[in-house]
Amino acid sequence: MFNGVLINKDEQGYSAALTPIEESRLPEGDVKVKIDYSTLNYKDGLAITGKAPVVRSFPMIAGIDFAGTVLESASPKFRPGDAVVLNGWGVGEKHWGGLAQLAAVKADWLVPLPSALTQRQAMSIGTAGYTAMLCILMLERHGVTPDKGEIIVTGASGGVGSIAIAILSKLGYTVVAVTGRANEPDYLKSLGAAEVLDRSLFTEPGKPLTSERWAGAVDTVGTHVLANICASMRYRGVVTACGLAGGRDFPSTVAPFILRGVTLVGVDSVMCPYADRVEAWGRLANDLDPSKLDLVTSEIGLSEAIPMAKGLLEGKVRGRIVVDVNR
């Protein structure tokens, strides 16, 4: 038996509960992992509360990521005792996920945990930090270097935003943070933000083009925020879009793209190719100051994940939530 946050949908309705589960119920997978830590992400909040149709089959163990130790492996890629990390691949949506003490998954979904990181640190980073690193890799690949100008990060107090600021500032970029939380400037500046702007400056419909300011952007919000950022990009600036916390729509025009040569890069963490995952985790081990993780991380036990999910969706949670699945 092992414990997990199990989501059900039946004639009684939609529910999530911490439940003892027989190991024989684990789905097929060529690697069995003893999970040590998981996290609570925005998508997990949606899945647990049922606020969006994240879960595709029932019953489902929530949790889109985890770090743990291989117990059994039918794959030559891994041996018992190996430390591994998993992000995405439909885990927690279509395949039982990480908010549990055990998982059975495909070997191709796992990445060896870099030796410089502990399992808890890996989940302090989690899918949010891994996504932030993917965004930064895209900025670099499109030629956005620190000397090109300021980088704007939206949803700055959330998991992706917090880790993005910490990494970008360490790499030498000048980072401007955007947040809707009036009490967060000190926190964001401690992560490395040079300036903090109020989200209200970006949430209303704007002009197709405004004054050029940003060389690059990491956007987690979407809708008018993303549109207004695109409108204020420098010539050949690059915007990475990885979230929709504000909405799915994109009320923009083609003006930034055809008049300023702005590039809008979509960043997907779920189905990201293996080579990019390995590169991202290797860079996270090198380019993220471990001391910053303590600033962005709070820890809860598995029994606290369900009540915490609502607060996460309501924007009451700062940074990253690590879940110790064994307490």
Domain match, 131 and 218 both? yes
258-308 pLDDT, tens digit each: 999 999 999 999 999 999 999 999 999 999 998 899 888 999 999 999 999
**Total domain count, the chain:** 2
How open is the CA angle 248-298-158, to the nearest 5 degrees?
20
Same domain, 157 and 199: yes
State which residues form the domain around 314.
2-113+296-324
Q: Does residue 43 lie within any of the structural domains?
A: yes
Rounded CA separation 209/189 (Å): 29
Task: Confirm whether 71 is domain-assigned.
Answer: yes
Burial of 298 (0-12, 13-18, 19+ CB in 10 A): middle
Residues 172-195, mean pLDDT to the nearest whole number: 94
Cis peptide, bond prior to residue 59, ω within 30 of zero: yes
**Span between the terminal Cα atoms of the chain, in Å:** 15
Residue 196 lies in a domain: yes
Look at residue 12 in the predicted model and tell me its pLDDT: 86
What integer pLDDT is reported at residue 11 of this predicted model? 86
Residues 99 and 197 in one domain: no
Percent of the chain, pLDDT > 70?
100
pTM for the full predicted model: 0.92
**Best CA proximity match to 157, nearest among 295, 260, 258, 55:** 295
pLDDT at 321 over 90: yes
- Please indicate, yes or no, if residue 164 is contained in any of the structural domains: yes
CB 229 within 8 A of CB 239: yes
Name the helix (H) or strand (E) containing 203.
Answer: none
| CATH code of the domain covering residue 76 | 3.90.180.10
Say if residue 182's pLDDT is above 80: no
**Cα gap 296→187, rounded to integer Å:** 9
pLDDT tens digits along 59-115: 999 999 999 999 999 999 999 999 999 999 999 999 999 999 999 999 999 999 999
Co-location of 136 and 262 in the same domain: yes
Q: Tell me the per-residue pLDDT of 110-163, one tens digit each, with 9 for 90 and over.
A: 999 999 999 999 999 999 999 999 999 999 999 999 999 999 999 999 989 999
Specify if 212 maps to a domain.
yes
